[in-house]
Amino acid sequence: MTTDRLRAATTLQAAVDFVQKLDRRIRASSMPGFVLWNVALSYAVVLPLAAFCVTFGLEAGPKFPDGVVEMFFATCVLGPPLETFVHQWLPIRILQRFGCRRSGTLVLVSAVGFGAAHWYSAYYIAAATLIGVVLGYAFLACDESGRSPFLTVSLIHAARNLVTFAFVVLGS
């Protein structure tokens, strides 16, 4: 094996080890810790994409309604459980009913549906798909650990939207 291949294999193994260690730590967290870890992950996965958009001046996301109260209820109260049902619970449960047990497939299908529903811009579709990966992961992790996946993912989504809402409101 060449030095470059050996270095690449070592780097890849280190990345896999890191992800597995992080997964174990997240799954072992208390409910509030699990929610916070996943909210943080949902921001971390989009940072490179956000940096790209800022660098090149690309339009990032939707235009929010003028009313702060309406925006809060739509994004932090009504949206998260509705989207959790449509984009995590429904596709994952349907695929499981038809015999799909591959976590990667379940998360990917869920994430692509979540991303496609956020069609405000190409950036937003990509970002929402990455966020959908985190939400799909959280759904399956909760399912496997006995936590309520619907409630937990709704909380993660609501908490993430609340942080974003605060930035949007404070920034305007």
The model's confidence at residue 60, banded by pLDDT at 50, 70 and 90, is low
73 has a pLDDT exceeding 80? yes
What is the arithmetic mean of pLDDT over 40-50?
A: 94
Contact 135, 114 (CB under 8 A): yes
What is the arithmetic mean of pLDDT over 17-40?
A: 96
Question: CA-based angle 51:57:59, to the nearest 5?
Answer: 90
Q: What is the pLDDT of residue 67?
A: 84
Q: What is the tens place of the pLDDT at every residue in 113-140?
A: 999 999 888 889 999 999 999 999 999 9
Q: What is the pLDDT of residue 63?
A: 66
108 has a pLDDT exceeding 90? yes
What count of other Cβ atoms lies within 10 Å of the Cβ of residue 154? 21
